[in-house]
Amino acid sequence: MDMSFQEKSAWGSLIILALVSYWFFPTALDIAGKTTNPAELYVLMIGCVVTLIIFEVIYHTIIAATGHTDKDERDRLFGMQAERNAAFALWTGLFWIVGHILISAATEEVAPVSKLEIAVWILFALSASEFVKLASQIWYYRANI
């Protein structure tokens, strides 16, 4: 069975997000742990966002030119289910971040986290939730062929 535009879109976005995240997060956490000046982090973040946008535009232009882009009920259903999973992943990530902040403030056993590290971890939670959404969407397409 041929993949729909939405399934192709999910595959491409998942791969692009994984590659950009693999490039961004180790470097961003290293920068955030070493400095209190966010300028280096801003440059890295802007570079990653621009890279992500460029690759997404190129990929979606290619797949849009090769077929129709209409959504059917199946696409909408899988999208809603994937959004639900992403919301749960985001909730879990943010709950973990807040818990870590509270525990590090209440005890001296856990090292405190800098503001920049918190910002990077929040971006990680957002990226992870998008990754869960795309992976769930692909799972629903592949499981319901």
Contacts by 94-101 with C-beta closer than 8 Å and gap 24+?
Answer: 94/122, 94/125, 96/125, 97/121, 97/122, 97/125
Q: What is the mean pLDDT of residues 13-38?
A: 91
Domain that holds residue 33: 5-143
Q: Residue 83 half-sphere exposure, CB side, CA atoms within 13 Å?
A: 6
Least confident span in 41-50, 74-83, 87-96, 136-145: 136-145
Asked if pLDDT for residue 19 goes beyond 90, the answer is yes
Return the H-helix or E-strand segment holding 138.
Answer: helix 115-143
Question: Distance between CA 69 and CA 3 in Å, rounded?
Answer: 11
Of the two residues 38 and 144, the one the predictor is more confident about is 38
Distance CA 142, CA 136 (A): 10
Query: pLDDT tens, 26-82?
Result: 999 999 888 878 888 999 999 999 999 999 999 999 998 987 777 888 889 999 999
pLDDT at 86: 97
Number of domains within the chain: 1
CB 10, CB 134: distance < 8 Å: yes
What does pTM read for this prediction? 0.87
pLDDT at 24 over 70: yes
Please, what sign has the CA dihedral across residues 69, 73, 76, 77? negative
Residue appearing with tokens 């869960």: 132
Mean pLDDT of 103-113: 78
